[in-house]
Amino acid sequence: MGIFIRLLVGFSLVGVGIFIVIRTWIFIDFMGPSYWAEQKFGAGGTNIFYKLLGIAVALLGFVVATNLWNDLLGATLGSLFKR
């Protein structure tokens, strides 16, 4: 993947993640409440779940933009897959 496409996709994901964190109620209205999140996180769990999802999407966007896939996967799952 070329550098411009990688940066475009990465920063787009960062923007979507930030939008999810800032405008959580739009996603709650669109997707509906998460009964699993309400059960696990308590009252307001859906709000927390969507904010954590937005943070994860933004972090994934930074990983894509900086091309750190190999470093991230090597640090997290590298011990499971020996060469």
pLDDT mean over 30-44:
91
The total number of residues written for the chain in this structure: 83
Cα angle 2-19-59, degrees, rounded to a multiple of 5: 50
pLDDT digits (tens, 9 = 90+) for 59-78: 999 999 998 888 888 888 88
| Statement: residue 83 has pLDDT above 70 | no
Q: How far is CA 43 from the centre of its chain?
A: 22
Q: CA torsion sign, 32 to 37 to 76 to 15?
A: positive
Residue 12 or 73, more confident = 12
Contact of 58 with 12, CB cutoff 8 Å: no
- pLDDT band per the 50, 70, 90 thresholds, residue 17: very high
Contact of 51 with 21, CB cutoff 8 Å: yes
pLDDT digits (tens, 9 = 90+) for 25-36: 998 999 999 999
Domain boundaries, the chain: 3-77
